[in-house]
Structure 1
Amino acid sequence: MTPATALTRYRAEQSPSLRNAIATQNDGLAKEVAHRWAKQCSVPFEDLLQVARIGLLKGIERYDPARGCAFSSLVVPYIHGEIQHFLRDYAWDLGKVPRGAIEINSKVRAIARRWQAKGRVVPLHKIAASLGISGDRWREIEEITTRHPLTDLDSAALAAVPDGEDDRITQLRRELARLPNPHRTALRLLYLEGRSPAEVAATLKLCPAELEQIAAAGLLRLKTRLEANDAH
């Protein structure tokens, strides 16, 4: 079956299996767009590719061969649009974060860094409480900063390295800062702050099984990056 025939047949039948086959045949379009975006932002290529593939599927669903336009001319904008939507909602738009939340978040994490430099890890919610910030308010701030990664580890706890820290720990912290959410936040809450899986699942609005999968994927990605650094 030729690509044109497959697209025409899908338009008539709306078969999910045929749609997926067309997407597989055109995966190169998703990869090409994802590569372009990977050069412009800090989101890993693998994550951008997954988003690009969603855009590819949406483009296939909306493409109508009867209109006479080239398949790629419609699908590629859908792929770009899906990635742009992802970046606006989950990545680097600080403009949507209230300034007060950023300031409180930064202050709490600065105190946490000072304690960590002295060899003690103090949970962030306890530091917030010591500053007179209610539990509800701190959870609200965490939720906001979880949705906007630059106000989280990148700009705070992992952006600055305490004096005298072991090089391996420094490397681990930096690689953790590069992970996308929710992997980064899950690992931070579980391992840096020592929160229970039940607490973390509730904070991220996940079921325990989803949290386990996210944490495992994050740890695997960290391991892969650290091993790659060791190889250089």
Structure 2
Amino acid sequence: MRLRDHALSIAFAAAFVVTLAGQSVAGLLAYNEEQTAHGAPGTDWFGFVTSSDFVVDVAENWQSEYLQFFLFILATVWLVQRGSPESKKPGDEGLGSDEEQRVGAHARANSPAWARADGWRRWCYSNSLILTMGAVFVASWGIQALAGTTVYNADQALHGQPPVSVGEYLVSADFWNRTLQNWQSELLAVGSMVAFSIFLRQRGSAESKPVGAPHHVSAVESE
């Protein structure tokens, strides 16, 4: 395997690890400062990264990111944006024919095995990307709910208030404040990318049309 062939995923994986580690250190310092302010004992790094305080912050970011891609992948099946390289060209909405998708009898020799299969296996593989994104979103959101309940109840205890159940936390203002502030930023980012890419260019990027392509055509139409 040539590393150069996988440089994009490797670079982002490395950046993810670095930023997650940085978050854990900065979060630990902030957590211990807050504990000191309340006259409570601090913790060490391992204690912090295994705590609900750290987990809830990580999970709420992950769930919003995977929701963003889940919605975007689903939306681009049926919706188009003329001129954006993030969209199919108008008229190509929908799932496409078996011939276009190279499945079943139209699969090629180098097509994945499940693209040649029938029934549930082809359906699963045909929707495997959105199924995976959706599963990670649901799992992350569930973890956020559980960890968030623990953090919320710890804060309740500090103020002499009674604890709440997971169900009660799911309908609380704290949960939805955490959730919606992440969702709105992700949706803004995706919408902006779709719109900006109609008129703006980045030479050499797979996310941009060729610099000289007309504004009104997609990347597919400009080839």
Q: What TM-score range do you get, normalising by the shorter chain?
A: under 0.3
Structure with larger Rg: 2
Give the TM-score normalised by structure 2: 0.27
> Which structure carries more relative contact order (alpha carbon 8 Å, separation 6+)?
2
